[in-house]
């Protein structure tokens, strides 16, 4: 798909039918892409999931443009194709649920990755700290604020 092209306004029932069919086609592809991304992220294949970013972004642009076109002609669409408009609303609600699931999975993956990085950083700081004893005879623990910086290579 290429960048969304400016389209003529919806003025007739046949225009509305074509616009809704186009929107449904875009939603089908977007739903499929989001489902693939969610499945890959759940499986821990984050690199594979990021491969879908460009496709998802392009489809989201097309989805937004097609949705705005239908919204602009809401009265015509509602009068000519009320069942199709209801179907679009239901699909949009289902899509919102799918997106919420996707965001939850991605947030979980982010939290897990952050926890791993923090754990590695803490372990490195602990190993680098000198082993000394304080005045009370107990081992001094290094301050969490005095740890050495850590760099992360993003290309594994």
- All structural domains of the chain with their residue ranges: 13-127
Rg (CA), the chain: 25
Q: What is the pLDDT of residue 91?
A: 94
Q: What is the pLDDT of residue 121?
A: 79
Per residue in 91-132, pLDDT (tens digit) is: 999 999 999 999 999 999 889 888 888 888 778 777 776 667
Average pLDDT over residues 43-66: 93
Question: Looking at per-residue confidence, does 12 or 23 come out higher?
Answer: 23
Dist CA 94 CA 143 (whole Å): 49
Dist CA 107 CA 54 (whole Å): 19
Q: What is the pTM of this model?
A: 0.72
């Amino acid at each position: 798909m290429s960048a969304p092209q400016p389209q003529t306004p919806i003025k007739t029932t046949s225009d509305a039918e074509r616009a809704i069919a186009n929107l449904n086609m875009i939603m089908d592809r977007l739903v499929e892409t989001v489902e693939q991304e969610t499945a890959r992220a759940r499986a821990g294949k984050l690199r594979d999931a990021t491969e879908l970013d460009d496709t998802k972004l392009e489809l989201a642009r097309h989805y937004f443009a097609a949705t705005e076109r239908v919204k602009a002609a809401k009265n015509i669409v509602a009068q000519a194709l009320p069942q199709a408009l209801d179907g679009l609303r239901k699909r949009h609600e289902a899509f919102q649920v799918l997106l919420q699931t996707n965001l939850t999975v991605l947030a979980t993956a982010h939290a897990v990755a952050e926890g791993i990085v923090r754990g590695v950083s803490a372990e490195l700081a602990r190993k680098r700290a000198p082993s000394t004893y304080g005045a009370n005879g107990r081992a001094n623990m290094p301050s969490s604020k005095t740890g050495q910086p850590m760099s992360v290579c993003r290309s594994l």
